[in-house]
Amino acid sequence: MSKYYTLKPRKFTLEFRDSRRASAHGGQLAISAMIEQFGLAERVGAEPALDARTHFGKGFAPLVYVTQLLYSFTSGGVSLADAERLNADGPLKAFLGLEKFPDQTAVGEWLRALGEPGWQALRRINRDFVQWALARADAARYQQAGRTECFFDDTQIEVSGSTFEGAAMNYEGNLSLSWQVLLTGPFVADQILGATSATKESPASDQAGKDVSSRLPELLEANAQLWPKESSYLYTDSASSAGKYLEAIQQHFGAWSVSYNKWTGPLEQKATELPALSWSPAQTLRWRDGSEHTAQYAWFRHQPAGCETPKRFGVVRHRAAGEMFWRHAFLTAHEQESPAQLAFERHRLKGDKERLLSELLSDLDLHHPPCANLNANRSFYTLAVLAWNFLQALKLLHLPESEAPKRMRTLLRHLLLIPVELKRHARGLKACLYAPAGWVAWWRGLLTEWLPCCRTLNTPEACGTG
């Protein structure tokens, strides 16, 4: 019989001390190391649009604002007020050699002053970081079947009040901003926050919703250098199935699959006309609603409006027990020799990309834009994405593969938010990280390799590393 376990509360004494020597942000040394290796300071300095000062001998350098927001996001902060609270962290400021951080009013004014040029500069820095990280990563850790996977999606950021610049009624009748995002591997390669399109996906169709893929060609053109066309794969949903978008996708990707549940009238007709030999053998599958369906798959060709050539479409017809008529689901994909069923199974991997984007939105609370100014919100979201990409790079480049499934907030709690104590000596500073026993060697190796400004002590002190 196993031993009985229960709580045994004990009496203890409490002593409160101020945090001038201790911080819970010890893990920020890992972010600092990556920032230094990437050369963020040089890249920010090379973008004049990020310096909104009128008197260059006063105020905060643009690098201060950028790193402040990056450290805030990678510490669990989600707002400008959280960025200001870093001022209470003396050891973090000591690591950075900074006397103080800007308050939230100053950060907000800087974001608004950046305008369109500053936002575009931040986009370039983020794009450069994604390219830098992918070049250093083991391709086997982010590729699927030898292909670099990309994903495009639009998220409606709902807002309240009429003060948000660019907000408009979306296809669901809610006041919102449109956030169109392009993922490459685990990284957000690029994104554009803007007004919901006022045009329909197809001018000839009154039933089509408003166009939420209007930025797709622009994003593909700007980021095509991040993936080799011959070994790439794009997932996207039916909002990107208009003919003009299918042509752009074919131009930039060697393989793709796009959900197709709009303008399906001609496809339904073609599916009903397919001969019996075109369909795969009938099989019983567990459908999404949990019921058992009989299903068959087939390929056929169709040229949607706006396409220069016919495209290949996959169809699955299915029906539950007792149903008389078939129901159909469609996708369009690149030319391939494999059965249509495999194309549908590959396309279901899109769900992993959707979950990754959902984690980004929830972990950084990006459902709440901080400013009324559109370009300020664009810069804020770009810096949030850059912080997310830093954490994804930390996983991809330095954490063991077993840690890859961990989401961002788990990394924050168990890796980045660890205690550190700052000790001052006559010849410098000593930082004692109180890391979990199993992570001491990892921390020592990472900081020794990536943070040349510090000297890692190998003595078996209680602090673990310094």
Per-residue pLDDT of the chain (466 residues; tens, 9 = 90+): 678 888 888 887 777 777 677 888 888 888 888 999 999 999 999 999 999 887 777 889 999 999 999 999 999 899 999 999 999 888 888 878 888 999 999 999 999 999 999 999 999 999 999 999 999 999 999 999 899 999 999 998 988 877 788 888 877 778 889 999 999 999 999 999 987 665 555 444 334 446 678 899 999 999 999 999 999 999 999 888 888 999 999 999 999 999 998 888 899 999 999 999 999 999 998 888 888 999 999 999 999 888 989 999 999 999 998 888 999 999 999 999 999 999 999 999 999 999 999 999 999 999 989 999 999 999 999 999 999 999 999 999 988 888 888 888 888 887 888 888 877 776 677 778 888 888 888 888 888 777 776 666 554 444 444 4
Give the CA dihedral 341, 344, 348, 353, nearest 10 degrees.
140
- 2: which DSSP letter? P
| Gap between the Cα atoms of 359 and 15, Å rounded | 38
- Whether the CA torsion 166, 170, 174, 179 is positive or negative: it is negative
**What pLDDT, on the 0 to 100 scale, is given for residue 230?**
95
Report the candidate in 239, 236, 267, 261 with the shortest Cα–Cα distance to residue 250: 236
**What pLDDT, on the 0 to 100 scale, is given for residue 460?**
45
| Gap between the Cα atoms of 333 and 344, Å rounded | 10
Whole-number Cα distances in Å, 9 to 40, 210, 331, 335, 392: 49, 60, 60, 67, 40
Helix spans in 364-407 (H): 374-398
| Strand-pair partners of 314 | 299, 331
Distance of CA 213 to the CA centre of its chain: 18
| Gap between the Cα atoms of 70 and 228, Å rounded | 29
**What pLDDT, on the 0 to 100 scale, is given for residue 1?**
63
What is the identity of the amino acid at 408?
Answer: M
| Gap between the Cα atoms of 123 and 382, Å rounded | 6
Helix (H) or strand (E) holding 124: helix 104-136
Helix spans in 324-369 (H): 340-347, 350-363
Would you say 148 and 227 are in contact if contact means Cβ atoms under 8 Å apart?
Answer: yes
Helix spans in 188-276 (H): 216-223, 243-252, 265-273
**What pLDDT, on the 0 to 100 scale, is given for residue 451?**
73
70 Cβ contact partners less than 8 Å away, ≥ 6 residues apart: 31, 35, 383, 386, 387, 390
Would you say 230 and 345 are in contact if contact means Cβ atoms under 8 Å apart?
Answer: no
| Gap between the Cα atoms of 213 and 181, Å rounded | 10
**Inter-axis angle of helices 374-398 and 62-73, nearest 10:** 60
Cα angle value 338/351/78 (rounded, 5°): 150
N-to-C CA span, the chain:
45
| Gap between the Cα atoms of 185 and 174, Å rounded | 31
Rounded to two decimals, what is the model's pTM? Answer: 0.89
